[in-house]
Amino acid sequence: MEPAILMHVCCAPCAAPSVELVLRDRDRWSNIVFFYSNSNIYPREEYDRRLQYVRQLGEIHGITVMADDYDHDAWRDAIKGFENEPERGARCRLCFKFNLCRAARAAAELGNCAFTTTLTVSPYKDNATIFAAAEGLTGFVPYDFKRDHGFQRGIELSHQYHFYRQKYCGCEFSLRDRQKK
């Protein structure tokens, strides 16, 4: 049996259908660990609110939740110069890379050789861009969580478990763009 898989988790609505697919691969993974690493989320209260529901999902499935240190300043440094990029643009690619690098480090520290991300469930995020951001990171498993109507399943599970469903990706720039609409 292969070692555990660390799942980079952005929020409970995205993680809920994603973990169902990974649980189907129980013969492949000995254990699943949620890794909440989202220093891009703004403001801090939003980060904490999303984490609360990720922890609730972890309890539902008996999955350990590891929360990364919130370091919004480091994330801002990583995307510096791309603040005015549109959603799905270069800023997002840098953000994916930032979070996936942190997930790769956490997986290595745990002794895991595999990690993935729930970001691929969103219809607002391009999987090819996410997979490209993971290139060169040891142990990345490119799950396509959009399959089997993953996003719709996330909505259903959010209603079932009363998860908070946010209205924007997470960063202040996606919030700004959302408010303009």
Selection from 96, 93, 91 nearest residue 118 by Cα: 96
CA 110-114-119 angle, to 5 degrees, is 105
Identify the band that residue 2 occupies on the pLDDT scale cut at 50, 70 and 90: low
Domain range list for the chain:
5-180
Residue with tokens 């292969």: 2
Identify the band that residue 178 occupies on the pLDDT scale cut at 50, 70 and 90: confident
Q: What residue type is assigned to position 46 of the chain?
A: E
Residue 33 β-bridge partners: 6, 64
CA distance 172 to 75: 12
Give the tens place of pLDDT for each residue, 80-113.
999 999 889 999 999 999 999 999 999 999 987 8
- pLDDT value at 152 more than 70: yes
Please indicate, yes or no, whether the overall pTM of this predicted structure exceeds 0.75.
yes
Asked if CATH classification 3.40.50.620 holds for the domain at 5-180, the reply, yes or no, is yes
